[in-house]
Structure 1
Amino acid sequence: MNASLRKYPDIPPTMGRGIQINTSPNDAVWDFSPLAGHARDLASIDLVSIADILRNGFVYEPHTIYKDVKIAATGFDPSHDMFDNPRFHYLFQPVLAAARPPVDAVHGDKLLETYHSLLCDAVTRTTAGMRAPWLLQSGGKDSTSMAIAVADVRPDTTCITYLGGKEENEVASARFVARKLGLRHEALVCDPGRAYDRYLAMLPRMPLLTADFATLSYVDLATEISLQQGDGMIDALGSDQYFGVPLHRQDRILALLARSLHVPQQVFQSRLVSRNFKLCVALATLEMNEFERYFPGSRFSDTEVDALLGQPLASLSRQRVEVFQPDLDAAGSAEAVRRLSLVIGESAHLAKGMYSATAKSLRLAYPYADPQFRDWVFKDVPDELLIGPGGVNKVLMRQYIDRYFHNLPYVKAKGCFRFDLRGLAQQRFEQIYDVAQQMQALLPGVPRWLETHRDRLDNKFFASKFYLLAMLLPWLQSRTRRASAVDTPHGAEAFAP
């Protein structure tokens, strides 16, 4: 992968009671090759991690879907044993920042020139091993800022924008940006059946499991890039963690609603509620705690998780937050807590790219995670240029974009890789129901849930839960059945970078 990033050659892949892998994009080259020969049996699967995925869409780090595999993600020291009292501490929280310079003490043009220079250097370093890179251009601020730097130092890059649903369509705007910068642009329109078939084909080479709601988008994109002879992906994730994530009105309302209450499942079955997405989300929020409500998407309640697994495991999943509690207690503000939620959710947000790229033998770059760029933004950019008045985020990034493009709509409305969840449920229900019946020994309550909710999947609230099952069930099936010549990876190099 990114050979220029610092690695820990003295840390063996096996520590304590199993395999440990460093997955922080800030510090290391991630290498999943120790997993190539991992055992395929029920005993290797961590049931609490399944509960994590059903409850939040990802596995709480440092845990993974396997009992004997841990990851040292951002905030964990990879020199420590993640099996034995892992400690989390994120060094880029606002309360840990030294006094930043006042905004009137810095020269605006010089600041923007430094931003451009450091980002260009980050792109150069992280894409050094790529022959034909592709930029995942969502149409948002992060990918637009990245495209400007990419055009300067990697003009051979192709931009690709994913149209996953009707909520936001940034293809035209993203294409305009790419072409004005002199970059080739492609668009990929979501076909949920095609994306899911590509996911199933990728499973034997997918090292670990995440169910982030953009995972199938990444699978679709990685497959398309590979088919187009690309050999690397540039991902514009990672800047929120040090730029900051201001809370807006909707965030505050949801935080007020999150009270860890018990809402009887019968409430969701009434016709009035079951057809109303916003009402379902509001009622489900009552069952969440404030911190976990920051994670995106509609997920299963603790009561549902215990029913799906046939045993009380949701409470054990909830307890996994304890390793992060010292940092959460010291955060100092709701914004800082939300920022930590992004760091903690990194195992999903970044893993979807890591796992998809690994499965397609693509290199992967996260230039915003480059230590030099990150440290400069965190230490030397005035507070007012990180989060401005009224909760305007990434002020400096907006000013940087404005030097090249004026009044682009996505600077005001965030773009992202959405996915057609309802289309997936419509096209793949019977397929997933069949797998659910085969996997009843592990998840005895899933067939019943699918039967009960078959006619409600046109509501995105329930379609989101179906998506989690669609990601989880075939992955588990592929790891818990006898490996065949068809789905056995080609030797230890299967998960190599």
Structure 2
Amino acid sequence: MTATIEKAATAGAGTPRRRIQIGLSPHAGEPDFSVLADHPGGASALDLVSISDLLRNSFVYPPHTIYKDVKVATTGFDPTQDLHESPRFHFARQSAAAPARPPASAVDAEALVDTYHRLLCEAIARTTGSMCSPWMLQSGGKDSTSMAIALAEARPQTTCITYLGGSEENEVGSARLVARRLGLRHESLVCDPARAYDRYLAMVPRMPLLTADFAVLSYADLATEIAACGGDGVIDALGSDPYFGVPAHWQQRMLGLLALGLRLPPGVFRSSLVGRNFKLCYALGTLQMDAFERFYAGSRFTDAEVDELFGQPIADRSRQRLELFRADIAAAQTLEARRRVSATIVEAAIFGKGMYAASALGLRVVYPYCEPTLCDWVFHQVPDEYLMAPDGTNKVLVRRHIARHFDQLPYVIAKGSFRFDLCGLARQRFDQVLDFARRAQALLPGAPRWLEAHRHRMGNKYFASKFYLLAIVLPWLLSRMKATQVAAGNASDEVKE
């Protein structure tokens, strides 16, 4: 995947300005960030609406990026089109648009699983061919378990590593059982918020672009650990949801009904009854969201809060970016279909966190589930009943692949919500992030005030999630504003260019 540099005359100036496009779709190979190595940075290069995107939704709406002059071609964007002037989006793997798949009665179930296994092994072999010491991020769930089964055949020297982000989602036992039964080496890493944040700050100067996905710090922690242990590549089991399908559970339906785009007075959250109740805060936050944007994960800043952080109206300009995707959203006639579209839009975040961290550490990161041959076969040749059962059970084919080797996995039965100790991060790094906010007041004048006003609420994940967004965004912005002496914990390292 290559980066394209375009030049055009700056209005009224007569001097050329750079316009950069980078292919960022995981379905099209590895991105080339080398074109950003000499990006001048500076506050004037930063896109304020993109910062608003990050605070509202935890990612920048593609094809935009944190830089005004850099666009990215994620899945759904043709990388040959001009993404600066007239971007067009179309999600080609919408289920309703697929040609008629074979009926379940026309295929042999065992042969279908055999073909899936072979194609997954081939995808692994192709994507990891240049890796000497690959490590797989193993959650213990369906996708990583199926991937581990194929890895045991295609790359048996792979080391699996599982992250224990918190008590609400303990994946280690399931992942360890899978790896050991398959003969793969297994390691685990327990979340230490301070260590993870220090590792993130250390890589910030070398991260080419910015996302605020809620697994950014987990990824920074894991990638640094892998590099320190001699790994040269990361295998990530992301990427199969858009073509396998994303079931819509009753919770999503209820949240969609609650998302009314209201603007509630900030005083609603000041009472002790509301301020300490995560579920109540989450519901009230949802009332203030766009229904489609509620598909995106996590608790984020409301539009009113974003305007206060910037000291000017800007949230509406971020929400306006969703209009580029409205035609595909309107064509998605079911809630499940709309979730597929949302999964593709959010691709800029869920894959970006790995791509940016790997680039900063000189690692390769690959996504075998995004290998085109495998994707196309599943999308066109696998009967609907093997993608999603009539009762809403997803990834039936993957489950049958796993069932050849394992009984029901504990992590498949019950899945939690949080992969990082958000409250622990706020408890250990509040004053450091407050210092970042004070240094970044030129961009976000209201950030110090918001932090001070919510200091005593950081035991509630609703507010700790928003703190997390500021903790990710602020040091990266400062590094591009040429700020110096931004300490990583108690270390003397600086975040600088």
Task: Say which SS state the counterpart of residue 80 (structure 1) adopts.
Answer: coil
- AA of the residue aligned to 1:73: T
Aligned residue number for residue 68 of structure 1: 69
Mapped partners of 1:133, 1:271: distance in 2: 49
User: Which blocks of at least 5 consecutive residues in structure 1 are unaligned?
Assistant: 1-6, 490-497
Deviations 1:333-372 (A, max 9, x none): 1111111101000110100000011111001110000000
**Residue 410 of structure 1, CA deviation:** 2.0
> How far apart are the structure 2 equivalents of 1:163 and 1:175?
12
CA displacement, residues 452-472 of structure 1 (integer Å, 9 cap, x when unaligned): 100000000000000000001
Match of 1:447, as an amino acid?
A: P
The residue identity in structure 2 corresponding to 1:116 is: H
Deviation at 1:37, TM superposition (A): 1.1
Structure 1 counterpart of 2:4: 12
The whole-number CA distance in structure 2 between the counterparts of 1:125 and 1:483 is: 42
1:140–1:415 contact (8 Å) kept in structure 2: no
Residues 1:385 and 1:414: Cα distance change in structure 2 (over 3 Å)? farther
State the TM-score, normalizing by the size of structure 2: 0.95
Structure 1 distance, partners of 2:5, 2:140, is 38
Determine the structure 2 residue equivalent to 1:228.
229
Partner of 2:218: 217
8 Å Cα contact 1:159-1:185 kept in structure 2: yes
**What are the residue-to-residue correspondences of 1:124-139 with 2, within 5 Å?**
124-139=125-140
The aligned amino acid for 1:232 is: G
1:115-130 to structure 2, matched below 5 A, reads 115-130=116-131
Q: What is the letter of the counterpart of residue 425 of structure 1?
A: A
Query: 2:127·2:367 contact (CA, 8 Å) conserved in 1?
Result: yes
Residue 460, structure 1, aligned to residue 461, structure 2: yes
CA distance in 2, matches of 1:272, 1:175: 41
Amino acid across the alignment from 1:394: K
Segments of 5+ residues of structure 2 without an aligned counterpart are 9-17, 486-492
TM-score (norm 1): 0.95
Q: Does the CA contact (< 8 Å) of 2:101 and 2:383 recur in 1?
A: yes
Contact 2:483 2:495 (8 Å CA) reproduced = no
Describe the superposition over 1:233-257 as per-residue Cα deviations: whole angstroms up to 9, x where unpaired. Answer: 0000000010001111111110111
**Percent of aligned pairs with the same amino acid:** 62
Higher relative contact order, structure no. (Cα contacts within 8 Å, ≥ 6 residues apart): 1
Does residue 256 (structure 1) correspond to residue 257 (structure 2)? The answer is yes
Following superposition, the deviation at residue 486 of structure 1 comes to 6.7
Q: Cα offset for 1:105? A: 1.1
Report the CA distance between 1:332 and its aligned residue.
1.7
Supply the distance in 2 between the matched residues of 1:411 and 1:468 (Cα, whole angstroms): 29
Compute the RMSD of aligned alpha carbons: 1.5
Is the 1:40–1:482 Cα contact (8 Å) retained in structure 2? no
Indicate conservation of the 8 Å contact 1:140/1:416, yes or no.
Answer: no
Q: Return the letter of the residue paired with 2:4.
A: P
1:474 aligned to 2:475?
A: yes
Say if 1:163 and 1:417, in contact at 8 Å, map to a contact too. no
Partner in structure 2 of residue 492 of structure 1: none
CA contact (8 A) 2:162 2:189 kept: yes
1:147 alignment counterpart: 148
How far apart in 1 are the matches of 2:412 and 2:286? 29
Question: Which amino acid in the other structure matches residue 158 of structure 1?
Answer: T
SS at 1:337's partner residue?
helix
Distance 1:238 1:38 in 2: 30
**The residue matched to 1:188 in structure 2 has which SS?**
strand
Matches within 5 A, 1:254-293: 254-293=255-294
| Secondary structure in structure 1 of the residue aligned to 2:188 | strand
Give 1:181's aligned residue: 182
Q: How many Å separate the matches in 2 of 1:416 and 1:154?
A: 31
Letter of the aligned partner of 1:454 in structure 2?
A: R
User: Cα deviation per residue 1:380-399 (whole Å; 9 max; x = unaligned)?
Assistant: 11111111132111111011
Supply the distance in 2 between the matched residues of 1:130 and 1:214 (Cα, whole angstroms): 24
Shift of 1:216: 0.3
Q: Distance in 2 between matches of 1:19 and 1:78?
A: 11
Q: Tell me what 1:494 maps to.
A: none
Counterpart of 1:493 in structure 2 is: none
Q: Per-residue deviation at 1:273?
A: 0.5
Q: Deviations over 1:63-94 (max 9, x none)?
A: 00000111011100001111011010111001
Question: Quick one: distance in 2 between partners of 1:425 and 1:154?
Answer: 39
Pairwise mapping of residues 43-442 of structure 1 onto structure 2 (< 5 A)?
Answer: 43-414=44-415, 418-442=419-443
Q: Once the two structures are superposed, what CA deviation does each residue of 1:252-295 show, in whole Å capped at 9, x if it has no partner?
A: 11011111112111101111100000000111111111100000
Q: 2:489: which partner in 1?
A: none
Distance, in Å, in 2 between the alignment partners of 1:237 and 1:486 is: 33
Alpha-carbon separation, structure 2, partners of 1:432 and 1:50 = 17
The answer to whether the 8 Å contact 1:162/1:171 transfers is yes
